[in-house]
Amino acid sequence: MASIHSSKTRPFASHHTVTPCTRTHQIGALALVIITFFLTRIFDQSFNSSSFSTPTSGQYRSKNDVVRFSDSGGSIFWPQRGYGTHLSLKIYVYDENEIDGLKHLLYGRDGKISPDSCVKGQWGTQVKIHKMLLQSRFRTRKKEEADLFFVPAYPKCVRVMGGLNDKEINQTYVKVLSQMPYFRLSGGRNHIFVFPSGAGAHLFKSWATYLNRSIILTPEGDHTDKRDTSAFNTWKDIIIPGNIDDGMTTHGSRIVEPLPLSKRKHLANYLGRAQGKVGRLRLIELSKQYPDKLECPELKFSGPDKLGRKEYFEHLRNAKFCLAPRGESSWTLRFYESFFVECVPVILSDQAELPFQNVIDYSQISIKWPSTHIGTELLDYLESIPDKDIEEMIARGQKIRCLFAYTPESDSCSAFNAIMWELQRKVRQFHQSSGTFWFHNRTIVNRNLVEFSKWKPPMPLP
């Protein structure tokens, strides 16, 4: 090092083809070495943190995973890839008094249907998501700053309870949408609708005209529905869990508690009506041949023999495997319920699509069996699975089942927060449509060159 700092003339200093190595050059070279060292360290750390390790238990295990939560030991990570580092949403919720006709979609033509009666059923997500958004930290009361717009409506409940018929539902939706300038501004791309039943958006018969760009939240991702036309689009819509009885999803004491495997009476069960469906009829016949292995009780949904909710879950918990065949549509609530009585769900619905598949590896917590092979081979297969493997699947299911529960936003692991993460992926910086145009100063106008702030409802729709 002494020679480096020496002020004596160097041997080759007089050679005209070589640039003299001055103190400045020496300091620069040393600085370059130091900078290169630190940049290499930073690069290595960045590479390691951005590389996903082999998933275990169906979850990502990277330092870049940004949400960590659990319902029963262990951890679940929400991947940063495609989602961002944190939830940052502004959602405007339309008020029921803001738009003429919206109340009819919530309470029926006579206003007599209460939200409490709609939240109890299989389709209660339409009410729960609405109520949670009203209290959410993601809610904004300023339309101009909203990323997304939520349109509250309980069409399935209103229809089932006689509040509106199919024709009235269709007419009311069209009337409501015609009063939403921001819907027209984006072509509906930033508007959210909940259709929580197997019928999906088909409850609104003109969905293909008006909602073909909008975000639809539904448990039904079936692409082979009765009309041969699916209202579900993989790229814009979101699969959500069905509505499980709150008495089974709340923390602490539940309606019933799971039984140890050794105390369960049956290998498998199916609790539901036949409804003339081939798969369900096969299960009922199979239970008659093997009553000790497969329980398929004849359920009564009315009258003195109606099965109460406690009795229902007591039956459901009494088997190692809970069978979930297709019904009127591909999804079934029994799939989600099974995680809370801690039996392994067996999907017997070939077209079923499941929520949050970017986070959950369903092959580690459930079984999917071809609906064309419902018979003794199914029972033989289930019987061959060791209890140790069943317990491991149940344990993994315990860790992720919080994603199926519509618990308060304060619970980091909940269906609501999971839906918010999925919605964040749908946000776009600017929403354009065939009806919006802009000038050099970013002024938004319609086809008649009228500024957006001066648009008057009703707006013509696509």
Amino acid identity of residue 302, one-letter, is S
What b/e string do you get for 68-80 counting C-beta neighbours within 10 Å, with b at 16 or more? ebebeeeebbbbb
**What pLDDT, in 10s, does the model give residues 260-305?**
999 999 999 998 887 788 888 999 999 999 999 999 987 766 677 6
- What is the reported pLDDT for 13? 39
Question: Which has the higher per-residue pLDDT, 326 or 65?
Answer: 326
Q: Is 281 helix (H, G, I), strand (E, B) or coil?
A: helix
Q: Decide if 357 contacts 82 (C-beta within 8 A).
A: no
60-64, 173-177, 218-222: range with lowest mean pLDDT: 60-64
Q: What pLDDT digit, counting tens, does each position of 314-358 carry? A: 999 999 999 999 877 788 899 999 999 999 999 999 888 899 988
3-state percent helix, strand, coil for the chain, nearest multiple of 5: 35, 10, 50
Dump pLDDT digits (tens) for 204-219.
999 999 999 999 999 8
pTM > 0.85: yes or no: no
What value does the mean pLDDT of the chain take?
83
Q: Which amino acid is located at 9 in the chain?
A: T
- Rounded to an integer, the average pLDDT of 216-229 is 71
Q: Which residue has the higher pLDDT, 13 or 38?
A: 38
Please report the pLDDT score of residue 297 as a whole number: 84
Q: Is the CB of residue 247 less than 8 Å from the CB of residue 254?
A: yes
Predicted confidence at residue 69, as pLDDT, reads: 58
Start-end of CATH 3.40.50.2000 domains in the chain = 257-405
Q: Is the peptide bond before 260 cis (omega within 30 degrees of 0)?
A: no
Average pLDDT over residues 136-153: 96
What is the dotted CATH code of the domain comprising 257-405?
3.40.50.2000
- Read off the pLDDT of each residue in 26-38 and give the average, rounded to a whole number: 64
Separation CA 102–CA 17 (nearest Å):
85
**Helix, strand, or coil (residue 268):** strand
pLDDT above 70 for 37: no
* Core vs surface per residue 119-142: b (16+ CB within 10 A) or e: bebbbbbbbbbbebbeebebbbee
Q: Say which range, 9-13, 177-181, 259-263, has the weakest mean pLDDT.
A: 9-13
Q: pLDDT tier at 65 (50, 70, 90 boundaries)? A: low
127 in the Ramachandran plot: left (φ > 0), alpha (ψ -120 to 50) or beta? Answer: alpha
Q: CB within 8 A of 332, min separation 6: which ones?
A: 242, 272, 324, 325, 326, 349, 352
The residue-averaged pLDDT of 91-97 equals 97
Structure-block tokens of residue 175? 């009337």
Average pLDDT over residues 113-141: 93
| pLDDT surpasses 80 at 52 | no
**pLDDT at residue 14 in the model:** 40
pLDDT over threshold 60, residue 31: yes
Query: What mean pLDDT is predicted for residues 145-168?
Result: 95
Structure tokens, 296: 């398929």
For residue 67, what pLDDT band results from cuts at 50, 70 and 90?
A: low
- Note whether 371 and 325 are within 8 A (CB): yes
pLDDT band at 61 (very low <50, low <70, confident <90, very high): very low
- Asked whether residue 259 carries a pLDDT value surpassing 80, the answer given is yes
% of the chain residues with pLDDT over 70: 79
SS3 track for 363-379: HHCCEECCHHHCCHHHH
pLDDT at 154 over 80: yes
Residue with the larger pLDDT of the pair 456 and 156: 156
Per-residue HEC secondary structure of 385-417 comes to: CCHHHHHHHHHHHHHHHHHHCCCCCCCCCCHHH
Residue predicted with more confidence, 55 or 446:
446
Question: ω before 458 within 30° of 0 (cis)?
Answer: yes
* Torsion, CA 380, CA 386, CA 391, CA 392, rounded to 10: -110
Band of pLDDT at residue 227, cut at 50, 70 and 90: low
Stated length of the chain: 462
Using the structure block, give the residue that is written with the tokens 């999925």: 422
